[in-house]
Structure formats: C-alpha cells, structure tokens
Structure 1
Amino acid sequence: MKNIFKIGLVGALLATLFSGCEPQEFDSGDIRESYPPSEEEMTATVTQGEDAYHFNMISNAEVSGIHLIKWDLGNGNVGEGKEIVAYYPLPGTYDVTLTITTNNGAFTEKVVAQVVQEETDYSIFTSEKFIFLSGGVDDLDGKTWVLDSLSQGHIGVGPAGSSGLEWWSAAPLAKQAVGVLYDDEINFKIDGFVATLTNNGKSYVKSFVADSPGYSNGYEDDSDYVVDYTPSPGSWFVEEKNGKWYLTLSGPTPMFPCFDVGAVNGSYEIVKLEENLMELLATDRVEGNAWHLQLIPKGYVKPSVAAELLVTDLSASEANTYEVSLDQVNIPAGQAINGVTFNFGDGDPVVADNYTDVVSHTYMRAGTYQITVVVDSSVGEFTLSETVTVATNHPDYVPFLLDEMVMYNDFSEVSLASVNGEDCGVSVVANPERIYPNRSASVAMYTKTNSQWGNANMKLPAGYRFDLRSISTFKIMVYGKAGDVVLLKLENTDWGGNAWMSGVELNYTIKEDNTWEVAEYNFAGTANNGSAGDVFTNDVTDPDAAVSHDFYDIIRIMLNPGNGDGTHEFYFDELSGPHVEGIKSAQIR
C-alpha cells in the first residue's frame, strides 16, 4: 500500500466522495469579519483515515469570523466545514482545493494538497448498491434510469428531516403537461463512474436554481422552470455515512436525476435501491426542504396486480342484499395484495381480512348506490367500482319523517351535507355583519366571475331524497346587493348531464343592500321543468306526483342566473328545509 500526500500541487481528476461538518458561522464581533485568510495561512493537514481509502482533512487556517469553509476534492465535488473525510476507492491523483469566504463575500482560494491513491477498493465492484445502480462490471454500457412517472410520489416535497412527501406527493403523470421532464434519463457507468444526463436540450428545475450557470432562457411552467441546458458528462459515487447510504453527483455542469431540486453538494440519500426501483431524498440548498424522487430503469414495465369486481344480487332470497368479491385475480410472482376495502355507498367501509373474502351487504333504503372496492397491492392501490339500483325500501325499514323543517348547514356547527361550488367559489368566512337576524360567527360566501350558471350546491348522500309532500318550503339567509336575484333549484343527479331538465326552481330578489334577510322558497303549486318528460307535473308537492318524494337529491343556489358578465357575490347562511326522511340528525362539526 502506498498513499502519498503532497501540499500545494495540482493533479488529475477522478471520482471521489466525501462527508463533512457544518459550515463555520460568522462571529459578528470579530475584527476579521471582512478579511479572509491570506494564501500563506491557507494550509491543510491530510492524514490516513480508518483504512487505505479514507482520508482525514483539516483546514489549518484561522476560522474566527469565517463565514464558510469549502473543499473541492478533485472532481467537482465539494465538502463544507473545518474537518472532512474523503473517500478515494480507485487509483489516481486528486487535487484538494480550499476556499474560505467571509461574511461579506471576500474569499481566498488555494490548492492546499494533493492525494495520490495507489490502492483499489475492490469491494465496490461486488457491492449490491453499485451493481443495482450501474449494472456493475457485466454492463459496461451502464444502466439508465427515468422518473417513475406512473407512480404516486415519484416527485414529492416536505419539511426538512421528513420523507419528502408530506407537503406534496405528485400523482401519476402530474407533470406530463410540462412536456420536458418524463423523457429525461440518467445513465450510470461503473467504468470511470461516469454519469450522463440526457435531456433533449431542455431540463425542468426548481425556480431557485433556474439562473444557475449552464441554464438559459428559463420560463415558468406549472410552478417550476423549464430551461435550455446541454449537460456535460459528470461523475457519481455511492458511499455509506453514519449508517445511511448516499449517491453523490457532480460534474462541470449541473448533474441531477432528471429533476433539479438544488440538492446540497449534489448529495442524495438512498432511501431504497433495488434492481428495478430507486428512491432518493435530497435537501435543497436554498430553502432546506426535503425532496423525494423515485426512478425506475428505462424500459422497465412494472408488474401489475389485476382483478375484477364480482357483484351478486341476492335480492330474490334476501331482500336488498348483495355479495361482493374480487374475481379474476392476477398476482404476479413476488407481488401481493395487502388489503381490500369495500365501500357500499351508504355507510362505513368494510375492511376484508383476506382478498378472497366475500362480503355481504343489505341496503335498507331504495336508491342508486356506487359500490367501490380499493385494493392495496405491493405495486400500489387500484380501485374497482360498480353501480347498483335498489328498487324498494327493505321490508324492515321504518320511515322516519318529522313534520317540521330542519337545518341543513349553518356553516358554524351543523352540517347535514357539505355545500360545494360548481363554476363558482364557495368558502366559509367570518360574518360580515353580526347583527340581528344573523349573529352567526361564520357564513358562506359565494363568488362567480364570468360564469352564467355557477352554483353553490348541497347534495344528499346516496339513497336519500327531499320529501315535499308535507313541507315544501326551503329557506336561507342572504346578505348582498339590493336587486340581485338568488335562485334556489332542486334537481335529480341520477339524470347525469340532463339533471337540469329534471329541476324545479324559484327566485328571490334581495331587498336591501348589505342587510341580512330571509329568502323563502315555497314550492307548493309550482310546476317543474317542462323538459322533465314523464315526470312533469304542475305541482311538485302533489303526493301523487313522481317528483314529490324519492326524486330530488340536490339543492343548487345561483346568484343572478344567466348573467355571465363580471363578478357577482353575496353571503348566505342557515340553509334549511324539509326533514330528509332517513337522516335523523345533522352532523355536528
């Protein structure tokens, strides 16, 4: 074994990896705050480390008042801190350059040492991680990786120290519209530890690195930046530090695994590295956030678990009862189904102990329900669904209908069902004027811009309908501009895109500016839409009319319907109406 340390000489460039301490922070009271060390003071001590391949490096320069100590270990990789450990597994001559910068940006840079390595750490050629990443010595053309664009979380971000998925986890093909990300690829060769990024002339990068050297003509696209960029070949290495494995990328131009998140020192923690899967975690050098990247080998087709949904109607022998199970299940070798969740659309989901289980469910109320089954497999989740229509109530079902109005949603405490916006905004806000007749703390605000039919809507759960036979009045409190028209409409969503044809509607005109007033809609004696075909009636509250009960399931509220010019807004609260048979009480927030 022969390792030579030379001070102040220049040598050749080969792959290295390092680990270091935190940068030294500036002491604001130090008199040298604006003066970096002189070249004479820029010296370093290099000693043999724990084995023939590791080297301890210590800066001998005065660090009082120094803002940053940075090392260039000979191939573009950098380390930070007064002391670092460098790893040289292959023969070669490596320059070590030290740069010390003060808090005002003044710096001194000097080649402080040269390491001549004459030994080879042959363990890297049999290391599983080296082989998985590059193909090993049996694949001298290297191994090419691409983002796993069809998987949830192939890109993600979270706070420092997290898994990088807490704040955002990219859905499959989330960035497809960008057009320059998913065709990028990175190749790793073990021969010379060469990393080659192929990007077809453009790369996708975080905004805070878009002005980095080598990037040009950047423009924003889906919150990040597309830049013109022609990458040069760089280098890579894998090393274990403090019980974790890291992939380090470097080069004369930026080198990164398809998406540049500004990784500190080009370092990526290897969360998982298998023959056909690589998960990386990086910390960006600007905001300090954790970024998750998931890649697969180019051309690799992930095995998929498949199944069909089998729904059996047992109503002939058991009223309103259905059996549901998985059918035609295909589980490739090495894969598994971890769990199955059945949701019948009218209550709590059922979790099966085994994917072969047959789950039985009995519906009590007539209605149309969507059965949804979520299958959790080793290669991700997938969903199966089927719609069933229950023609009649179960013989054991006891109707429960109060002869009084109930509160549907007061946006503070009671919520029978949520109120959502369609082509308009609906948000819960502070009451603009807490005086009689509405002292509620929170109310709903409706806003539409250039939208004729933007509506706030409340849809009942599957199987439930409004009953207009006994009580036919709906009420809301409104607060807005005098003369504005507030429409309330009932529809049947079973009609799909023709639901508007099933509807019945009434208007209320706001009487005073910015004053809470009660808008009342009594549908007694009101005809429904003439387009309703065989359910048309001149009185939607007639007990014999098909629409008076078991029909309408959604309320739509519109401001100035048909007017699509400009912005229209108002506040509303205390949405109430007839008791909904089968829903005994509203949910308390």
Structure 2
Amino acid sequence: MKKYIFNLFILSLLFAFTACDEEFVLEEAPTAEEASFDVATSSKGENYVVFTNNSGGFIKKWDFGNGASAEGSEVEAYFPFEGQYEVTLTVYAEGGSVSSSQTVDITTTDPTICNVEFLELLTGGCDQTEGKTWVIDAERSGHFGVGPPNAAGPDFYAAGANEKEGGGMYNDEYTFILNQYQFVQETNGDIYLNPAQESNFPGAFEPSVGDRKAPYEAPENINFSISENTEGQAVISFNNNGFIGYNTGVNTYTILSISENEMFIRFDDAATPDLSWFHRLIRKGYAPIEAGFSVETSELTATFTNTSLNAESYSWDFGDGSTSVEESPIHTYAQDGTYEVTLTVTAPGQSAEITQEVSVSAAPKVLPFTFEENDTQFGTFGGTVFNVIDNPDPSGANTSARVGEFVKGTEFSFAGLALLLDEAVDFSENTTLSMKIWSPVATNAILKLEAAGDPDTFTEQNVSIPAANEWVELTFDFTGAQNNLRNLVIFADTDNNNGGTFYIDDIAFATESADAITLDLLTGENGKAWMLKPGPGSFGVGPAKGSDEFYPNGADISGERPCLFNDLFIFKTGGQYEYDTQGDIFAEPYMGLDAGCTDDTALEGTDAAAWGPGKHSFSLTPATDIDPAYITVRGTGAFIALPKAYNGGEYGSAPPNMDATVKYEVLDYFKNASGEELSLTIDVSGDGSAFWNFVLVPAN
C-alpha cells in the first residue's frame, strides 16, 4: 500500500517554486495590475497548470479553488478532475495587499488518478461518480472499541454486536467521492459522541447505551485529504469538522486496513491522549459473513446452535471423523473426550470458519437407571437389540417419558442385555433391587450380577412377571450378595426362544412404596423439607382441583421464579412447621412490593412481614375411606407455597389475619422407586370455582 499512498501524497500536493528573496523599501499600496498573473499548461500534461506573477510583492499567496494553496512567484498546481476552478492570487507588499482571480478550465480528468488502488477502494474510483458509502459494521462484535495509543486493535474494550443500538451511530452513512475529494456525512439527525465533547454539541444527552447522543446535521461542503504517516499507513483528514462514527473531537483517521468491502480505522481522543479508538466499517449493502456457534452437551451428545451471520451453507467437522451440512446439527460421540469442532460457512463470494473445543463424557454407569436424562446404552447378546425410546404405554406403574426398549434376540433363549457398571453395587445398606418391566407375555425375568472380568463369580434372582401388556414393578432380593459385582445382566422369558419386545425402566435400589401420606412420611425422622417441584403443573390456579388452566396453563414457570421454587416448607415432629425463604421471595403487589424476585429483607418492617421466614405449627388429618387427607398450618402468615391463598379467598393486601389457619387438601401422594410427590389443593373461591394447586417434592 505504501507506494500508492506516496503517489497520492504527490498528486494531492500543489508544488510551488518561489523566486529569490528581494529586499524591499517602503512604497505605496500595490495596484491591481501587480496582482495579475499568467496561466500556462505544464509540460507534464493538461491537468498541471503553471501560474506566474512577476510583480514586486514580497509575499504571493495562491488559492487554486480546489481546496489547495501555495506561495511563490511561480507555482505549479495539479487539477486531477475535470471542471472550472477560480484561482486567486493575493500579493502582499510594503504598502498593503491586492488580489485578482482567473477561471481555469480543466477539460478532462487525469486518468492516472483512476488507477490509484487505495482511492478506488475508498471511493469506488472514477466510474463510481456518486461515490462509495460506508457504514459501521454493527452486526459483528468488535466494530467499535478502545485501546492504548497506536495499538493494532481495541485491547481495552470491544463492543458486542449491536451493543450501541439507539446511540445515534448505526444509522450514519459516510460517502467518499473521488471527484474533488468530496465527503458526505449523513447523520440522519443524530450522532454518538464521547462525553468530553458534550459542550460542542447542544442538546447532547445520555442514551440508554451510555456516553452521549446529540442532534446534529453535518455541513455539506466537507472534503477529505490523504497523507501518509511515519509507519507507511494512509491517513484521512477532513475539513469543516467532518468525522466518522464516534466523535472524540478529532478529524483525522489512520486506515489500518481497507478492502473492497471492509475498512478498519483508528483515531485519537482529543480529551484523553492515552487512548485510541477504533471502528470497523463496511460498504453499505454488504452483508459480511461470520461463522459462529454455541453448543450444549448432555453426556456424549452435543447439540449445536448455529449463530453465523449471513451464511447460506454450512459444513461441520466434529473432530471425530464425522461431518454434517445441517444448519444446527446434533451429534453423538462414541466416547469421552475433547474434540475440535470446525464450522465453515459460505455465501456467494465469501466464506468464514470457526473452531471450538467441545468436551463430552458419558453419564456415569451407576444405579439408578431411569432413562429420563440420559440414554444409557446396554450391551446386547444373542441377537438382542436395545434402544432408549419414548414410553409406548405411559400408564399404570410407569408413566415416565423415556424407557429402554429390549427386542429379544432368537439366537438362544437366554439372549439379553449386559452393562458393566462404573462401580460395584453396594449392598451394605439395601439388598433389594427393583425394575419396572413391560412384557408381551406373563413370564419371568432374571437380574444377574457378575464380577467384572469373572462371569463365574455371580449371583442372580429369577422372579415372575405376573401380567402381560402392562407395566409391573419387580423386586430382586440380593441378601448375602458380595460387594464386588459390577456387570449387570438382564434376561426375560428364558423358557422360550420366541423373541419379543420388552420395555424396562427405573432399575434401582428398591424403596418403601406408599400411596397415602402419613405423619412419618411428611416429617421424616428429624424433620423433612419440601419444595415446589420444578416443571410444569406444579404451581397454578384453575377451575378444578389439580388444574392450572387460569395460570400458567401448562407453562413451566420455575425458571421465571427461581426465588419461589427454592422455598422450603419444613414439617417436623411435634407439629412444628417452618418456612425458609432461602434468602429471597417472589414479591407481589398485595405485599406492597413490585412483582419479582427480591431479598426477603424487603418484607421487614412492613405489614407483610409475617409472610417472611418464620416458625408456625401444623397438623395432619389422615385420609379415611370417605374423606381425603388434609394438612393444616396455623400462625400469623402461615402458608404453603402461596402467601395470599386462604380457604375461601385471597389477600388483596397485607397484613394477613392474626393466628389464622389454612387448610390444604392432599390431592395425591406417592412414593416409589421413581421418587416422591405430594400434591395439594386449596379452594380460594368458596364455591368450588377456583383452586390453587401445588406439587411438592422432598428438598433433598
């Protein structure tokens, strides 16, 4: 680039050759005749003009009408562009000064200026008479930033994509026109500026994106000039206070790089010399391509989200020999590891690439296996096929969403499944395992445990499957089993070699099951903390028991209200009940607070203080053959899940009633290998038309 800039520097200067100095004596004011001058075409070509004045003035200043000037008795001016120029000479003598003007007619544009690469990139060249318009590259990060003086980039801070939207900078346009080195600065009514320049722009104010925004219309008569700094870099300067982008009080910009579609510039800070600012600009209408992606992993599976800009095709290399051309693929790796994933994106005439490291690891192979959050793959033998699928019959003993499908092979009757666990099964505290199974026939199932690498050391339990075509839960008693058994083997229908499709789920240590709440189940051994179950259907109001049709109508609000879903409702022996906020609450207007998560200290000293953390009492009324179970809490501000709900109504404002009781009906309860849930409902209408419903699970 240096040679182009140097040539430009030569072209843009007007060279003056002054005569020898003379000694002058005091005389009368110069006459108009003394300011007359001769005009002649230079031998260099018709775009070079020689101006001569032979008067006795001691200073002779020339204005060539194209933004350039010179001084001397004989000067040569360069007029690269076709047009008429008014050339003015001012002669200074001992007695005063006098001026005269002539019009110079340049009939052709110098073709050599059309071949200067830098000017063509900046302005579009001679053929693009309307010039070339540049805008801030707002959609890509790094389009604006700050760093140390003379840095190559914004080391201190770089703006993210569209970070300064609304600041008054992204709607600006900057047009460079080669003819007469014109610059058109279109602000569209406002600009973005450094706070130190606020006094120079009336009406400046602080926008939501920081710094200052001000109303401003740029003048129409702005020109640019090109020079070269000591580093050989092009420098653009503007007259009439022209500037680009973020105003820092300067009008000179160093071009760090320029191409057909992008330009990267650096400029000083008039108020803070220790800083340099940066902009990346793009040609107006240009849609730069950029590769980008985010990734979420779950065990060995990586889910990729493509965040690329302006791309039309995609090519993924997952780092394990696998590829994809999908926009946002999902890829499952064969084994644990860290892989270099490369995304290459293309658009007409453009391509971009990004590489990131992605780490995956399989779920630990330990009990229990529920298939809900991971797709644990069992090994097979005897022609058996295994897959994790959606539950084909979510009913009865198993309503979970995902299960293992076990298509038994027919190579021999003991075809089945095997899985080497990461650690041996520990029978020191519980010797009973359970497994849910769906079988096409009433037959048998065998659960076998072997020592790793030693199939001759094993123990197994053979139990009956009592019913066909429905889920049943089987238990396997391994009393007396060794604690070095790691290989889990499953057989079904071993008396026959007919194949068949079986489904399995919830392979775990057996737990005591129950379908009715008792005081011991509610309070545990030394007190038991319950909390709202994360997920849809656990907190809501509707026209019937268990319904959330009024709100939130099936939506999962646990992510919106984390301060509600972390609350603890603690039941202790002796009828003690405690509410623990975990330090925050979901505030609502009836408490006198703005809606949203806030520290529980916001309740202190207010009429709603009783709804904060505190200790109360409770009682459990067991279910009968006719009536359901009820949990009643007592005390000022005592509640479960929702402070405003009470029997027959809702509080519209604080404070709550003194020493009140609130009675909740136990709508459902279960405890089994899948977990434990307590469902409560309360009629807040008094007439059975509106019920708040909650699903609680043990906090631990």
Tell me whether the two structures share a fold, i.e. TM-score over 0.5: no
Query: Which one scores higher on RCO, CA 8 angstroms, separation ≥ 6?
Result: 1
TM-score w.r.t. structure 2 length? 0.37
Query: Higher Cα Rg: structure 1 or 2?
Result: 2
TM-score w.r.t. structure 1 length? 0.43
